[in-house]
Amino acid sequence: MKKRKTSLADKIFVVLNTLFMIAFVVITLYPVLNTLAISLNDGIDAVRGGIYLWPRKFTLNNYKTVLTKQNMLQGAYITVLRTICLYTSLVILWTSHHISKVMRNTNVHRI
């Protein structure tokens, strides 16, 4: 099999594209990892600041507190219910709108 010659422009593109993708991944993942580190750290210690990628005082008490409070679970339930109802309604409206546009543009007899 012949090896394809790569031009200087192709090599520059590959290098710059790789650097851009690495920077994009770091910029995207850092806030998520920082939030996870803060959530896994002791609450009082987290207020001091200075937590970046690894918690200073590892604990799961924050998750225990959130998951045992009744109002937090109720809030999550309401959020999921609203999301399902909203998107179901939007899909039904969008579909019916497009079906009506198709029906207007065809010679199909309406019932």
Q: Is 111's pLDDT higher than 70?
A: no
Q: State the pLDDT confidence band at 25, using cuts at 50, 70 and 90.
A: very high
DSSP string, 8-77: HHHHHHHHHHHHHHHHHHHHHHHHHHHHHHHHTB-HHHHHH---SSS-SSB-SHHHHHHHH-HHHHHHHH
What mean pLDDT comes out for the span 42-54? 85
Q: State the pLDDT confidence band at 37, using cuts at 50, 70 and 90.
A: very high
Quote the Cα angle for 94-77-84, to 5°. 10
pTM, to two decimals = 0.57
Q: Is 57's pLDDT higher than 70?
A: yes
